[in-house]
């Protein structure tokens, strides 16, 4: 008697019509929303030739905006990296009252509009703000200067490094750090010899995202900087001024720098993912395997 072959019921979305339709929708969305704008930026930036593009970038106001953007990133990113590592270490390695509240506070910039953050800084550091009189008496200028731009950029990018590290460090647990401490290692030695090697790729991933966000920030910086041409303009603000001056080619040329940064960030992101950034790996202690079993082999990303 011939054995009848049972047919496996089709999985959801396995039908060719449904699958092809979903792929087509995604491709159309990617082309219209992501690829087309980037292509237009590149085309318009070089529409008058490479020489005109170079002349536009060499403009004193554009160079100052690029310098201001780079300087802001050089200050804000290391500070936020230090904060993110410290916050992730505190939340994942220690138990203390308010631990969950601290995690919620760290995530506030994700849910608050950057413009709202800029206005809040106005009411804290402005002339009529909470510390306005004290800052004016000490002749310290926060708003409409580099410190205000850095503070606003730090606010909007504060969660990036911490949110990359916290899930990974939670999954790794505390066994390695506790073992190092029991062997007499200090806190700094434990961090640099045990913790940092296990989080280095996720840390670099968070730093890259933080840097890209700092350089592209517009809303909060536009409020606290005063948008002064050639003085407090970052590159995104300068692009807006060029567009309002009906210098579309100049605006596209300046925007191409941020677009190139986005492409570089994407390449770095993919490279780090291939090296293991953000992949959760269970920690292992050499020689800590159960009796009669082989020690767990060390893995490298």
292 pLDDT exceeds 90?
no
Q: Is 219 exposed, middle or buried (0-12, 13-18, 19+ CB in 10 A)?
A: middle
Which CATH code fits 51-275? Answer: 1.10.3720.10
**Torsion over CA of 29, 35, 40 and 46, rounded to 10 degrees?**
180
Of residues 240 and 299, more confidence is placed in 240
243 pLDDT exceeds 80?
yes
**How far apart (Å, rounded) are the C-alpha atoms in residues 27 and 288?**
49
**How far apart (Å, rounded) are the C-alpha atoms in residues 150 and 74?**
10
Average pLDDT score over residue span 22-31: 93
**How far apart (Å, rounded) are the C-alpha atoms in residues 31 and 271?**
23
Q: Which of 149, 137, 147 is nearest to 225 (CA)?
A: 149
8 Å CB contact between 47 and 211: no
246 pLDDT exceeds 60?
yes
pLDDT-based confidence at residue 12 (cuts at 50, 70, 90): low
The distance of Cα 25 from the centroid of its chain, to the nearest Å, equals 28
Q: What is the pLDDT of residue 155?
A: 94
The distance of Cα 93 from the centroid of its chain, to the nearest Å, equals 23
**How far apart (Å, rounded) are the C-alpha atoms in residues 38 and 260?**
9
**How far apart (Å, rounded) are the C-alpha atoms in residues 223 and 247?**
23
Q: What is the pLDDT of residue 66?
A: 92
43 pLDDT exceeds 60?
yes
Of residues 292 and 122, more confidence is placed in 122
pLDDT-based confidence at residue 132 (cuts at 50, 70, 90): confident
50 pLDDT exceeds 60?
yes
Which secondary-structure segment (H or E) carries 148?
helix 146-157
Average pLDDT score over residue span 95-110: 88
Considering the entire predicted model, what is its pTM? 0.79
pLDDT tens per residue, range 161-181: 999 999 988 888 888 888 888
276 pLDDT exceeds 90?
no
Of residues 294 and 258, more confidence is placed in 258
8 Å CB contact between 180 and 289: no
pLDDT-based confidence at residue 14 (cuts at 50, 70, 90): low
48 pLDDT exceeds 50?
yes
Residues 6+ apart with CB under 8 A from 267: none
What is the pLDDT of the chain when averaged over all its residues? 83
């Amino acid at each position: 008697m011939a054995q009848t072959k049972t047919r496996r019921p089709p999985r959801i979305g396995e039908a060719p019509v449904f699958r092809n339709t979903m792929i087509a929708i995604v491709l159309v969305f990617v082309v219209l929303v992501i690829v087309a704008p980037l292509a237009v930026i590149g085309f318009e930036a070089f529409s008058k030739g490479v020489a005109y593009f170079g002349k536009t970038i060499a403009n004193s106001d554009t160079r100052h905006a690029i310098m201001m953007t780079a300087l802001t990133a050089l200050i804000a990113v290391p500070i936020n990296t230090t904060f993110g590592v410290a916050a992730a270490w505190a939340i994942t390695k220690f138990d203390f009252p308010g631990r969950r509240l601290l995690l919620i506070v760290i995530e506030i910039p994700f849910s608050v509009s950057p413009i709202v953050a800029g206005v809040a800084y106005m009411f804290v550091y402005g002339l009529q703000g909470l510390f306005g009189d004290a800052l004016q008496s000490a002749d310290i200028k926060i708003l409409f200067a580099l410190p205000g731009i850095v503070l606003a950029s730090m606010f909007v990018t504060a969660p990036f490094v911490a949110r990359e590290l916290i899930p990974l460090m939670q999954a790794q647990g505390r066994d390695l750090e506790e073992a190092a401490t029991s062997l007499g290692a200090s806190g700094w030695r434990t961090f640099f010899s045990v913790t940092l090697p296990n989080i280095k790729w996720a840390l670099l991933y968070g730093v890259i995202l933080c840097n890209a966000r700092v350089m592209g920030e517009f809303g909060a910086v536009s409020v606290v900087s005063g948008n002064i041409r050639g003085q407090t303009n970052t590159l995104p603000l300068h692009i807006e001024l060029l567009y309002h001056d009906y210098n579309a080619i100049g605006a596209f040329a300046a925007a191409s720098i941020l677009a190139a940064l986005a492409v570089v960030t994407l390449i770095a992101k993919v490279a780090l993912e291939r090296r293991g950034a953000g992949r959760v790996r269970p920690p292992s202690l050499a020689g800590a395997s159960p009796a009669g079993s082989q020690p767990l082999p060390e893995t490298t990303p």
